Structure 1
Amino acid sequence: MLKNAPKFYEVAKRIVEITEDCILVAHNSSFDYRILKTEFKRLGFPFKRKTLCTVELSQQLIPDMESYSLGKLTRALGIPMSDRHRANGDAMATVKLFKMLLNKDLDKVIVKDAIKIEKKSNIATNLKDIIEQLPSDTGVYYIHNVNGEIIYIGKSNNIRKRIIQHFTGTNSKSKKIQRLVSTVTYEKTGSELAALLKESAEIKANKPIFNRALRRTVFTHALYSSTDKNGYVTLFIDKSNREENPITTFSNRASAKHFMFKAAEDYNLCQKLTDLYDTKISCFKYEVKECLGACINEEPIESYNERVHVLIEKFSYANKDMLVIDKGRTIEEKSVFLIENGIFKGMGFFDLNHQINNRAILKSLITPMENNRDTQHIIQSYMRRNKRLKIVDLK
């Protein structure tokens, strides 16, 4: 469709002419306006217009709609729409929607108030220059002072966006960073897991002044197992400062409980034996015929314990040799995380044509990293949240 379309610079003059002294109306106008401003900026032209957003107007004038996306909103309001997701079709639908909104705004107060005049940026010039050099990629970033010392380390799925938040923040830490920052360096990781692990390791190694209060304890609670007097394997949540090794760890008690309720349902486990239902007799699920009776010794011990061990095997990598494969920094690349005998060895990147099941090749790709409770928590938590990760068992 764009093969024979004109380049932006060829139509820029015409856009300036047709929008002169006009208000731009768009569905999610901040997005369209930002694109226009960016393109004009590349041409060295300052493009400024007032804007009206039909998303915001619709939310005010037509509250309680199920969705405010253009397609669903026009369909709900009976506005005919053709060529969905094409410039002409979307523009015509927005015109019809805007006319309806103008009719609903009897006092014209909301429309007047909704016209946005671009605010002057409150970001200092030196901070803008730093932002201009940053990518919108996943990775770890390092904020340096004038002496080159690292004063803060963070990770983000969008480095540029996160730094803008630092530079526009009004809390005490943000203001101190804004005053002291001289430059920002970064390292792309592609994978959020790689960024989390690298951030944790770099904070421990560099101890930046503004990271000292950051996650002194990354996780507070953990999942443990034991065997009761009848031989059933029980599961329970407790604080993570116990001496024995946990199955997996959690950032707080609430997330641990949420996991346990779901796990009990997914693996058909007894609520009494998973510490979710305090009783000396049968659990609630037994009463509604959803528990097979382990709570009152009715279910065979072997069959119940087998399901518990499947859960433990899935969420613990103790004694396992495996690779975790995730996104890389480019389309042709993947990130890889090596775990040997339940110990995290390190991470690296490989091209898709690499034979990573060859141990010698694999070890040459891996950068060694420290194995500690924080890295275990980060990896286990990430694996729980990302069901589509590729896990390769090493023979």
Structure 2
Amino acid sequence: MYAILDIETTGGKFNEEGITEIAIYKYDGHEVIDQFISLVNPEREIQEFVAKLTGINNKMLKNAPKFYEIAKRIIEITQDCILIAHNASFDYRILKTEFNRLGYDYLKNTICTVALSKKLIKDAPSYSLGKLCRHLGIPVTDRHRANGDAYATVKLFKLLIDKDNKKEIITQSIKYFDNRHEKLRILRIIDSIPETQGVFYIHNQEGKIIFIGRGRNMKLELNKQFVKKTNKAEKVLKRVFEVSYEETGNPLLTRLKYHLELDKIRPKYNIIRKRKKVSKTFNNHSFLLFDKGRKPEENAVILIENNEVIGYAFTNLAFQENKLSILRSMLTKIENKQLAKIIIKNYLLKNKVQKLVRISDENTDVLV
């Protein structure tokens, strides 16, 4: 069951507006079965430009019922209904604000016909109610009056129901007051990430990386990120569309990849700190660093040559370590060699790796 509505207001500061007119049509998916239309005394002045737009002035509303006098009727006609409106977030916010003033928590699931139209009518030149109805051949009377706009929205919603052949898009477009769809979507994203060591990338709807995270358990770290209550974390949660990841196998490669990616991508919601300086050279100018790979039969290897970090690769344990020429062809090259050197040197000062293998100074294809 649906309650299709339109509200006209006084205008003014956010959440200080008052309702001047309301129209609600109760719709069962086939026909209108009830309706409520009324002017409302907002007990505040109407903004001049709003009066010109709607034709509703302060004098017209002097003897109209106040909101508390029609609140019960609104609750009755919208009971067990999904609220439908063109720009539903506005109409629902206005209703909630009025009910909040009465000390009543008005909670409804909503569908916005603007968002729904964008999914089902992709060739429309505009999604404003008037232009959209004109494009679709839907007659509109009393534009910018609650009754005229609400009834036009009824006709628009009928058309959208017909276009949604499988009845999936409308169901998916319901915005639940308890955010259950959003919570389920976030849970699905978290479940798609493994409980392994690595780096994860949070993308927005356009595919842009807006945050990079890391951890020994990526799923756990991603979940921690989504439950944080900081301003930045909440912005990330609001904008996340998908999460990709790369397994690294060990803490050094996790740290290395994380900071190199931060430096290269510069995601909007990461804090990028300057690295502490270390001495410019390694103890050995050329060597291979071996550590755990992503799975038991694999090693991660980093090549340092002539005191520069060249790149990293993952190799099978059976790989012959003296075949350096083969290893070179497998490397993922590192661009910011100075940053990589700082990260690796800082790590080796406090941590151990599986093995360091020196490369002969005379022949960089020979290991000693």
Give the structure-1-normalised TM-score.
0.44
Larger CA Rg, structure 1 vs 2: 2
